[in-house]
Amino acid sequence: MIRYLLRRVGQACLVVAGVVALTFVVVRLLPGDPASAYAGARATRAELAHARQQLGLDQPLPVQLATYVTGLIRGDWGTSLRTRQPVFNDLLVAFPASVELVFAALTIAVVLGVPAGMLAARYLGKPLDGGIRITSMFVTSFPVFLLAIVVQTTFATKLGWFPVAGEYDTVLQTTSPLIHITNLTVLDAAITGNGPILLSAMEHLALPVLVVAAYPLGVVTQMTRAAVSDEASLEHGRLERALGFTRTATLWRFSLRPALNPMLTVLALVFAYSLVNTFLVESVFNWPGLGRYTADSLRSLDTAAVAGVTLVVALTYVTANLLVDVLQTVIDPRVKLQ
C-alpha cells in the first residue's frame, strides 16, 4: 500500500509540474502588459521599467519560470497585481467559498442520485426507468449558465423566495459579526453558534447549489443505473435471484458495493468539472469564490492570480483522483494495487 501511494503521489506531482509549466507559458502569452497594470495607466517609461524589474519581467522566460517554481516550493505564490496581497492569502478566502458550493452540490447529487439510479435499475425498461433517464439527461445537457439565470429569475426575482445574490446579508456583519475559522461561511457560523448568519447563508446558498448540483445529479443517476444493472446481470446476480432474493434485495445488498468503483471514478471527474462550473454560477449569483476572483484577475491582467487559480484547480483534481484510487482498493478487493 505504501509503495502504491508513493507511486501515485509521484505521478500526481508530475501532473502538477506539467500544469505549472504550461500555465506559466500561457499566462505570459495573454495580451496586455502586466507591468502597465501594476504601474498604472499614466506611468512613465521609467516607472514601467521599474515595475517590470519588480515583477521580474525583465528576466528571460527560463529564469522567470525557475523563480516562480522556487517561490511555489517556499509557499510564495506571487503577489496579486489587483489586490496587492499575496495570491496564496487571496486563495485562502476565495477557494473555500467555491468548495462550499461544490461539496453541498455533490452531497445533494449523491443523496438523490444514487436512490434515483437504483430505482431506475429496479424498474429497468419500464416507464419509471424511462422517466428517470430522460430527466437525468435533461439536467446534464442544460447549459449551467442559462440554468443559473432561469433559477435566479424564477425563484429570486419573480417569486422572491430566495435572495438574488451574495453569500449572506452583509448587514448582519454589524449586528452578528462572523468569526472566520475555516472561511466556510456555513461551517463557521455553525461552529460559532451564529444563528442569524447561518440562516442567511443557507438561504443564499440554496439557489447556486441547486444549479451546481444539476449536472452531477444527472451523471450520478445515470452511472448508478448503468453500473448496478450491469452488476446484477452477471452470474452472481442470477444466482442470487435463483436463491429467492427479490430484485430489490439483489440490487441493494449484492450489486451496489461492486458498482461503487466506476461510480467513484466518475464522481472524481464530476467534482473537478463542478468546481470549474462554479465559475459561471458565481458570476450570476455574485458568489465570492474562485470564479469571481478569476474574472477580476483576468480583467486586470493579474497573471500571478490566474496562475494561482489554475494551480489550485490542478491540485484539487489530482488529490480527488488519488483519494478515489485509494478508496477503490478499500471498497473492492478485486482491485489490485498496481
Instruction: For 60-96, write each residue's pLDDT tens digit.
Output: 777 778 877 887 888 788 778 788 788 888 898 888 8
Which residue's entry shows cell 430527466? 135
Instruction: For 262-300, write each residue's pLDDT tens digit.
Output: 777 777 778 877 887 788 888 888 888 888 888 888 777
Beta-bridge mates of residue 79? 86
Mean pLDDT in residue range 49-59: 71
Amino acid at 4: Y
Which residue's entry shows cell 437504483? 118
In sequence order, the 6+-apart residues with CB closer than 8 A to the CB of 281 are 101, 144, 145, 148, 208, 211, 212, 287, 291
**pLDDT at position 242, please?**
61
- Regarding the domain with residue range 93-299, which homologous superfamily does it belong to in the CATH classification? MetI-like (1.10.3720.10)
Q: Considering only residues 239 and 148, tell me which one the structure prediction assigns the higher pLDDT.
A: 148
Mean pLDDT in residue range 172-201: 86
The DSSP string of 62-83 is: HHHHHHHHHHHHHT---B-TTT
**Residues 41-51, buried b or exposed e (16+ Cβ, 10 A)?**
eebeeeebebb
Residue 237 pLDDT exceeds 60: no
Residue 28 pLDDT exceeds 80: no
| Among the ranges given (1-10, 90-99, 179-188, 232-241), the one the predictor scored with the smallest mean pLDDT | 232-241
- The domain locations on the chain are 93-299
- Average model confidence (pLDDT) across the chain: 80
Q: Model-level pTM?
A: 0.77
- What percent of the chain shows pLDDT beyond 90? 3
Q: How many residues are listed for the chain in this entry?
A: 338
* Alpha carbon separation from 327 to 2, 92, 187, 300, 331 (Å, rounded): 14, 27, 26, 41, 6
Instruction: For 303-336, write each residue's pLDDT tens digit.
Output: 788 888 888 888 888 887 777 777 766 666 555 5
